[in-house]
């Protein structure tokens, strides 16, 4: 089957490679000229284990082409960004999805399958996408088949999870669901779950909202622990011995294109009935300012204004900085006049080594749980003006003996309660 994929980002590109490796003819489309040219040279533009090797194999088979415009195909997969709008509820910006649909309309033929993998607001398929298809003269479910099949993969393990995770197949009609299931059955070994398009949309959003709400509970517990002078990490550890309790881990905030974005789509769709979701979002978005306030206390009498920030991505061992709380924390600290040395071995443009980052620094601020930060070399901390470390991810295992190590469990021993505005 010939498949055109619109959008070659963190989901669209691995998905395209996977279909190519299973014998489908792929045309990967992206409007970014740099991405297209990089892929034409045979090099992937994303950091993801195994992806370069998979792409090399797909190219060797001769069934993966890269372009900046679509062409006639049997199926079209839309995997473009859906950022937040700058409105009161940060609702879903569908402009990229609508542009992608518009770009494939001239190539649609009877029997074609159109799949939206992009994360979208509830009822987008029925209220926005279906009318666009039908306005072009097609009857959905008869002439053209339309489905929402959201991804649910973990960066760093995408190649495995695209194949083995259960997949929701949300057709606009039952015939659309069955048509999409036939395509995904060629690559997915996990269960193919039939659903309506709206059920699929809301299910995807609630998967990430569940995690966001539970992380908010852990982050609120950190603030409670500081206020009451109690080790919040110890409290989480003990509570999780209960067979029916699984408190999440706190952190400096929530990032990425899923957890930090998707809950807003639900809240915007039904603001009067989503107070819990909105409060959880407010708690998590408050964490960068909270970390900065704690940092300012630790730096109050420091001999230098330099801070070594370890980690810029939103999670460990990837290169993705989208919606990263670390990036926001860096901006806030720089606005306060601090000299920030940014060290992230996964992000281009940061300082070259841990040693360089630590020269004359008065604080290491760990904001991402990269494997490279598990052990902090004593040769690096020896170069610090004041050897202290705040680990917001509870991921550092070893440091030199003279380093004052702080985390969200013991930070109350070194700081005072941070006055924050009510949520």
- 378 neighbors 396 (Cβ within 8 angstroms): no
The architecture of the domain spanning 205-279 is Orthogonal Bundle (1.10)
Please state the rounded mean pLDDT for residues 374-394. Answer: 97
Please state the rounded mean pLDDT for residues 194-220. Answer: 97
Q: Where are the domains of the chain?
A: 2-190, 205-279, 287-413
The model's pLDDT over 288-301, given as tens digits with 9 standing for 90+, comes to: 999 999 999 999 99
Quick one: pLDDT at residue 59?
Answer: 92
Q: From the candidates 204, 223, 306, 315, which is the catalytic residue? A: 204
The reply to whether 204 belongs to the active site is yes
Quick one: pLDDT at residue 165?
Answer: 95
The model's pLDDT over 9-24, given as tens digits with 9 standing for 90+, comes to: 999 999 999 999 999 9
Confidence of residue 422 (pLDDT cuts 50, 70, 90): low
List the CATH code of the domain at 287-413: 3.40.50.720
Average pLDDT of every residue of the chain:
96
In 131-232 the beta strands, taken as DSSP E runs, fall at 145-148, 167-171, 192-196
The reply to whether 358 belongs to the active site is no
Quick one: pLDDT at residue 357?
Answer: 96
- Higher-confidence residue: 256 or 216? 216
The model's pLDDT over 318-366, given as tens digits with 9 standing for 90+, comes to: 999 999 999 999 999 999 999 999 999 999 989 889 999 999 999 999 9
368 Cβ neighbours under 8 A, 6+ residues apart: 310, 311, 312, 313, 314, 315, 316, 326, 344, 393
Quick one: pLDDT at residue 227?
Answer: 95
Q: From the candidates 149, 258, 315, 358, which is the catalytic residue? A: 258
Confidence of residue 47 (pLDDT cuts 50, 70, 90): confident
Quick one: pLDDT at residue 418?
Answer: 85
Quick one: pLDDT at residue 368?
Answer: 97
Kindly report the pTM of this predicted structure: 0.93
Q: Do 2-190 and 205-279 fold alike per CATH?
A: no
Separation CA 164–CA 50 (nearest Å): 16
Q: What share of the chain is helix, strand, coil (3-state, %, to 5)?
A: 40, 15, 45
2-190 maps to CATH 3.10.105.10: no
Confidence of residue 155 (pLDDT cuts 50, 70, 90): confident
Q: Taking 80 as the threshold, does the pLDDT of residue 83 lie above it?
A: yes
Q: Taking 80 as the threshold, does the pLDDT of residue 262 lie above it?
A: yes
């Amino acid at each position: 089957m010939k498949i055109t994929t619109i959008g070659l980002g963190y989901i669209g590109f691995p998905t395209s490679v996977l279909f190519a490796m299973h014998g489908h003819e792929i045309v990967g489309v992206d409007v970014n000229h740099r991405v297209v040219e990089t892929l034409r040279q045979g090099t992937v533009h994303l950091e993801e284990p195994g992806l370069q090797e998979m792409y090399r194999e797909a190219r060797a088979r001769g069934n993966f082409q890269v372009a900046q415009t679509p062409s006639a195909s049997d199926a079209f997969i839309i995997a473009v960004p859906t950022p937040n709008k700058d409105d009161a509820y940060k609702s879903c910006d569908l402009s990229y999805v609508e542009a992608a649909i518009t770009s494939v309309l001239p190539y649609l033929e009877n029997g074609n399958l159109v799949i939206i993998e992009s994360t979208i607001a509830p009822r987008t398929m029925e209220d926005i996408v279906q009318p666009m298809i039908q306005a072009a003269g097609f009857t959905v479910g008869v002439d053209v088949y339309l489905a929402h099949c959201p991804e649910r993969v973990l960066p760093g393990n995408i190649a495995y999870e695209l194949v083995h995770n259960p997949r929701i197949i949300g057709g606009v009609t039952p015939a659309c669901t069955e048509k999409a299931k036939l395509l995904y059955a060629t690559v997915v070994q996990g269960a193919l779950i039939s659903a309506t398009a709206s059920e699929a949309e809301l299910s995807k959003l609630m998967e990430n909202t569940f995690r966001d709400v539970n992380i908010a509970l852990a982050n609120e517990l950190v603030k409670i622990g500081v206020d009451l002078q109690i080790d919040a990490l110890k409290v989480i550890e003990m509570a999780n011995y209960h067979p029916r309790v699984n408190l999440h881990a706190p952190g400096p905030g929530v990032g990425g294109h899923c957890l930090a974005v998707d809950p807003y789509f639900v809240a915007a769709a039904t603001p009067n009935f989503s107070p819990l979701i909105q409060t959880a979002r407010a708690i998590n978005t408050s964490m960068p300012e909270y970390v900065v306030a704690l940092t300012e206390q630790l730096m109050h009498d420091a001999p230098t204004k330099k801070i070594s920030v370890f980690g810029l991505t939103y999670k460990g061992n990837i290169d993705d900085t989208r919606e990263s709380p670390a990036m926001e924390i860096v901006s806030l600290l720089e606005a306060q006049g601090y000299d920030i040395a940014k060290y992230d071995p996964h992000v281009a443009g940061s300082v070259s080594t841990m040693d360089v980052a630590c020269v004359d620094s008065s604080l290491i601020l760990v904001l991402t749980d990269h494997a490279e930060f598990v052990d902090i070399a004593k040769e690096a901390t020896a170069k610090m003006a004041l050897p202290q470390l705040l680990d917001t991810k509870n991921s550092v295992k070893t440091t030199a003996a003279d380093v004052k190590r702080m985390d969200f469990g013991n930070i109350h021993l070194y700081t005072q309660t941070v006055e924050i505005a009510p949520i």
